[in-house]
Amino acid sequence: MLNFDYKQEICCGSLGDLVKGRLIPSCVDCSALNFWLTAFCMVKKGLILLAEDEESDALIMQRAMKKAGLHYPLQRVSNGEEAIHYLAGEGKYSDRHLHPFPSLLLCDLKMPRTNGFEVIEWVRARPKLRRLPIIVLTASREHSDVNKAFDLGANSYVVKPTKIDHLVEVSKSLQQYWLEINEKPVIYS
């Protein structure tokens, strides 16, 4: 099996020459090959959709995931309304080659326009999407928020750690359990 970084450029004379142990003919358009290999890796490995309105929290999460050695691409949307458009493949998210359907949704609760509770409710109301694993990642420790998130169909509820080292450990745990150990359901996007 060929392993490579999903963002690595593939061109003739390098990694692009080998796909499953076979040489690629020189007539193959390497930019198209790079596009399809990248898309294949994102589908095979999975994409994480992060719904987070706070820019600083999103950057910290991205850094923690990188520091944790996360092997999955991360796509961020800045509010619940955008999360719904992304999941529905609407508007600027309609091209699934550029915006593949995620394997996991990390969702903040307190977001503008459409909050995290509404996103969870929206996902669970759609038969083709309801199997998507949803992990609430929020600052709220309120029991009423925890209960409501689970009542609406969240799979897990994680309070955002305040220290980066703890967030790195949370990121490792999320990756290990939800994307490696846990068997993923078939989700129709």
Rg (CA), the chain: 18
Question: 89's torsion region: left (phi>0), alpha (psi -120 to 50) or beta?
Answer: left
Entry pTM: 0.74
Burial 64-94 (b: 16+ CB within 10 A, else e): bbeebebebbbbbbbbbbbbbbbbeeeeebe
What's the CA gap between 189 and 175, in Å, rounded? 22
For 71-95, write each residue's pLDDT tens digit: 788 999 999 999 999 999 999 999 9
- For position 14, what pLDDT does the model report? 29
**Across all residues in the chain, what is the average pLDDT?**
80
- According to CATH, where is 3.40.50.2300 located in the chain? 46-181
- For position 107, what pLDDT does the model report? 97
46-181 CATH pick, 1.10.287.70, 1.10.4160.10, 3.40.50.2300, 3.40.190.10: 3.40.50.2300
- For position 86, what pLDDT does the model report? 97
For 52-64, write each residue's pLDDT tens digit: 999 999 989 888 9
pLDDT exceeding 90 applies to what percent of the chain? 50
